Amino acid sequence: MTVKAYGAYAGDKPLESMDIVRRIAGPHDVKIDIAYCGVCHSDIHQVRAEWAGTLFPCVPGHEIVGRVSAVGEHVSGFKEGDLVGVGCMVDSCQHCADCNEGLENYCDHMVPTYNGPTADAPGHTLGGYSQQIVVHERYVLRIRHNAAQLAAVAPLLCAGITTWSPLRHWKVGPGHKVGIVGIGGLGHMGIKLANAMGAHVVAFTTSESKRDAARALGAHEAVVSRNADELAAHAASLDFILNTVAAPHDLDAFLALLKRDGSMTLVGAPASPHPSPQVFNLIMKRRSLAGSMIGGIPETQEMLDFCAEHGIVSDIEMIRADEINDAYERMLKGDVKYRFVIDSASLAD
């Protein structure tokens, strides 16, 4: 089946309209009419070949929401008409220790929603900037939000789970002072989720214009991280920091804000390395520096259900598919509050 998509033929080419082929739904597959797809900074890194290994043509998009339009004969969990989501992966080995623990995101054979190996044409997966997608039911999430909120739910499928997973893993909750660094798509969800978990949230932004906006999202304090005095006021006081910044920067400035036994988790994935942290910044207060990649399917469902229950969605700006190249330029300037979402209906025009 041929469907419309938006993608690029090379890393130095803009995205453009293209036709792609989706497989016929197999016995365990769910066919989804995509309603909206969020725009993640990882899409920019990959479609512009900033990370190694991008396969072209590249159709990005891993914040997918829509309605089920058909299911295979052995699908038990979904039926036609259901509101569903697909995040950053569409397959994994399904039997290793990671898969058995519901941490398919760490499986050595995890297949990303785009740019991963598949038997389908053209030999690598194609993502959600498209009209339809066909996905094994194990990797399909149920959406319990109101249908009217669907566009604003899309970013939960990556920005939501990528911040939820480390906040839960590091047991963030009441009594914790938590820093969120970089108030973009991921960071704004980090603020909302850490607030809902009961933590005292401090937002760290390079953008003066986001100081008040961060408070409106649920931050109890907001710091412009370019101001050394403002940073110093929080020295050795934070239990946990979630760092979402998409570019190399001085990690020591933030490590110095952790109290004894505090930890900073990096989720931002810049193409070139950070200047390395000073070892003494870690050993002097037994601090730790960690990383985290998206999240597993069960915890993604847990996050979606938590957000539905607590009325949490993303703050979005809706765009047409043919506005995507401009949207990327604005994201690189930090000029979006806080996530672009593509209206998939515009692909048909």
192 is a site residue for ligand NAP (CB under 6 A): no
256 is a site residue for ligand NAP (CB under 6 A): no
70: its two tokens = 């058909």
- Which of 309, 326 has the CB closer to ligand NAP? 326
What is d(CA 346, CA 129) in angstroms, rounded to the nearest whole number? 10
The amino acid at residue 74 is H
163 is a site residue for Zn ion (CB under 5 A): no
- Which of 146, 209 has the CB closer to ligand NAP? 209
185 is a site residue for ligand NAP (CB under 6 A): yes
181 is a site residue for Zn ion (CB under 5 A): no
Residue given tokens 């072209």 in the structure block: 56
* Interface with Zn ion (CB under 5 A), residue from 40, 111, 219, 256: 40
Q: What are the start-end ranges of the H helices in 12-154?
A: 41-47, 97-100, 150-153
Phi-psi map region of 244: left, alpha, beta (phi>0 left; psi -120 to 50 alpha):
alpha
CA distances from 194 to 45, 201, 312 (A): 26, 7, 12
What stretch of H or E contains 216? helix 211-217
113 is a site residue for Zn ion (CB under 5 A): no
- Residue 182 binds: one of ligand NAP, Zn ion, none (C-beta under 5 to 8 A by kind): ligand NAP
- Which of 80, 101 has the CB closer to ligand NAP? 101
Buried/exposed 72-81: b ≥16 CB within 10 Å, e otherwise: beebeebeee
213: its two tokens = 């906006």
Rounded to a whole number of angstroms, the minimum distance from the CB of residue 187 to ligand NAP is 6
Q: Note if the bond before 155 is cis, omega within 30 degrees.
A: no
- Residue 296 binds: one of ligand NAP, Zn ion, none (C-beta under 5 to 8 A by kind): none
* Interface with ligand NAP (CB under 6 A), residue from 90, 150, 167, 246: 246
CB 50 within 8 A of CB 12: no
330 is a site residue for ligand NAP (CB under 6 A): no
Stretch of residues binding Zn ion (CB under 5 A), selected from 21-29, 34-42, 140-148, 261-269:
34-42
Distance from chain centroid for Cα 122: 25
Contact mark string toward ligand NAP, 279..308, x via CB under 6 A: -------------xxx--------------
What is the contact surface with ligand NAP in residues (CB under 6 A)? 40-42, 45, 158-159, 162, 182-187, 205-207, 210, 244-247, 267-270, 292-294, 331, 334
